[in-house]
């Protein structure tokens, strides 16, 4: 009987998806998390919650020994940490092998940039893994700055192509909706979209609306910006939605725009394309890999409001191109980012490393 043990945030939608898949394929799955969840995992998933004693990353070290002892008791055939600089640290300190680390993004793009000590810690953690998994080639390049081995596997975070599909064709209304579905944080650059939209509606003689789905610390400043630009009547802030409702809102959009300042992979872009939505995105991180420029959407220069406006205008003024991008986008995801196929690839890594 093969035992898998995961070190990951039990309340993350990414963790839900990985655990749900592998709990169907392995008899015994263990999940160790620092955060509680109300999510109901399968009956063969044993969940352990180990909370840090106080709100500081220094507190991670206070529970390291407890997690190490838990892993020792479980005696897994494979240990997999998700997010290098927290759960990866616990996996590293457990000295358990075979050991895989999946890097998520900010753990390599942001964490090591603040000081040399953090950069050294990341190098130490990554060096303990038998395999490092990256969702994109761009992030793999970033990982190589702190990891000199060759065993980096590209493991895209695909989508459920049955759930994310074309429920409503684009251009089904007498108006065009540009939309985004993201947490409202500075790193996702929603303010650039709002400013570009305010320029766009002055140049295009069509009814164009902006739909912003998600919530976060930037919501008030973004709402204030729409009032400042006097476009508040054309912009709808939906707020937070359940993950299961994301395809529904994607299908309300004719164009999905992702003006991110940093993006490790680009799950939102893949979700949009699976729903047959053309994507206009910034030229950062993994977005350049999951959006094919002038084929499934357009890529614009990050933070360049005029370039973003021009790309949106080019698409809106060419409805045949929009429809072509729509069908190309769906096909591209079917060929490259089916969640089932991506999980099978991860399982191949598991089998290979356990055989070693």
Mean pLDDT of the chain: 95
- Cβ contact 282:257 at 8 Å: no
Between CA 178 and CA 252 the distance in angstroms is: 9
- What is the number of alpha carbons within 13 Å of residue 262 lying toward its C-beta? 12
- Cβ contact 297:279 at 8 Å: yes
pLDDT given for residue 56 in this prediction: 77
pLDDT given for residue 114 in this prediction: 87
The string of DSSP letters for 46-94 reads: EEEE---SSSSGGGGGGSHHHHHHHHHHH--SEEEEESTTTHHHHHHHH
What percentage of the chain exceeds 70 in pLDDT? 100
The separation between CA 293 and the C-alpha centre of its own chain, rounded to angstroms, equals 20
3-state secondary structure of 11: coil
What is the per-residue pLDDT across 213-231, written as a single tens digit (0 to 9) for each? 999 999 999 999 999 999 9
pLDDT given for residue 1 in this prediction: 81
Between CA 150 and CA 144 the distance in angstroms is: 9
What is the per-residue pLDDT across 111-124, written as a single tens digit (0 to 9) for each? 999 899 999 999 99
For residues 139, 352, 29, 150, the Cα torsion angle rounded to the nearest 10 degrees is -20
In the sheet that holds 28-33, the strands lie side by side as 45-49, 28-33, 3-7, 78-82, 99-102, 131-134, 152-154
pLDDT given for residue 58 in this prediction: 77
Instruction: Name residues whose C-beta falls within 8 Å of residue 32's C-beta, 6 or more positions apart in sequence.
Output: 5, 6, 7, 8, 48, 50, 67, 70, 71, 87, 90
pLDDT category, 42, cuts 50, 70, 90?
very high
pLDDT, mean of residues 100-119: 93
pLDDT, mean of residues 127-156: 93
3-state secondary structure of 297: strand
pLDDT given for residue 298 in this prediction: 98
pLDDT given for residue 279 in this prediction: 98
Phi, psi of 188 (to 5 degrees): -95, 0
* Res. 352: pLDDT tops 90: yes
What is the per-residue pLDDT across 228-237, written as a single tens digit (0 to 9) for each? 999 999 999 9
pLDDT, mean of residues 22-40: 96
pTM here is 0.87
DSSP helix, strand, coil percent of the chain (3-state; round to 5): 45, 20, 35
What is the per-residue pLDDT across 50-99, written as a single tens digit (0 to 9) for each? 999 888 777 888 999 999 999 999 999 999 999 999 999 999 999 999 99
Between CA 350 and CA 102 the distance in angstroms is: 13
pLDDT given for residue 243 in this prediction: 87
Between CA 344 and CA 18 the distance in angstroms is: 11
pLDDT, mean of residues 36-62: 90
């Amino acid at each position: 009987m093969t035992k898998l043990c995961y070190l990951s945030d039990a309340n993350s939608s990414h963790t839900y998806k990985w655990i749900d898949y592998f709990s169907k394929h392995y008899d015994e799955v263990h999940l160790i998390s620092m955060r509680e969840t109300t999510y109901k995992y399968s009956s063969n998933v044993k969940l352990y919650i180990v909370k840090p004693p106080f709100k500081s990353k220094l507190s991670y070290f206070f529970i390291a020994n407890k997690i190490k002892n838990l892993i020792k008791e479980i005696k897994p055939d494979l240990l997999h940490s998700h997010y290098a600089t927290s759960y990866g640290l616990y996996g590293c300190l457990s000295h358990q092998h075979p050991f895989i680390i999946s890097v998520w993004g900010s753990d390599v793009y942001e964490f090591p940039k603040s000081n040399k000590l953090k950069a050294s810690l990341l190098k130490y953690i990554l060096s303990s893994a038998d395999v490092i998994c990256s969702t994109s080639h761009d992030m793999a390049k970033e990982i190589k700055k702190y990891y000199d081995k060759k065993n980096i596997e590209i493991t895209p975070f695909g989508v459920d192509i049955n759930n994310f599909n074309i429920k409503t064709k684009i251009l089904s209304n007498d108006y065009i909706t540009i939309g985004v579905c993201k947490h409202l944080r500075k790193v996702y650059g929603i303010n650039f979209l709002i400013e570009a939209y305010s320029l766009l509606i002055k140049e295009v003689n069509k009814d164009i609306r902006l739909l912003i789905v998600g919530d976060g610390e930037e919501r008030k400043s973004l709402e204030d910006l729409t009032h400042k630009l006097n476009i508040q009547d054309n912009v709808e802030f939906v707020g937070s939605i359940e993950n299961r409702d994301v395809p529904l809102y994607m299908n309300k959009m004719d164009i999905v725009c992702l003006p991110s300042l940093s993006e490790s992979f680009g799950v939102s872009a893949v979700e949009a394309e699976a729903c047959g939505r053309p994507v206009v995105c910034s030229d950062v991180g993994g977005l350049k890999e999951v959006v094919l420029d002038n084929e499934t959407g357009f890529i614009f220069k990050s933070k360049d409001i005029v370039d973003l406006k021009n790309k949106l205008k080019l698409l809106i003024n060419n409805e045949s191109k929009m429809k072509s991008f729509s069908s190309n986008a769906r096909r591209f995801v079917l060929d490259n980012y089916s969640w089932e196929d991506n999980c099978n690839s991860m399982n191949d890594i598991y089998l290979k490393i356990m055989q070693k």
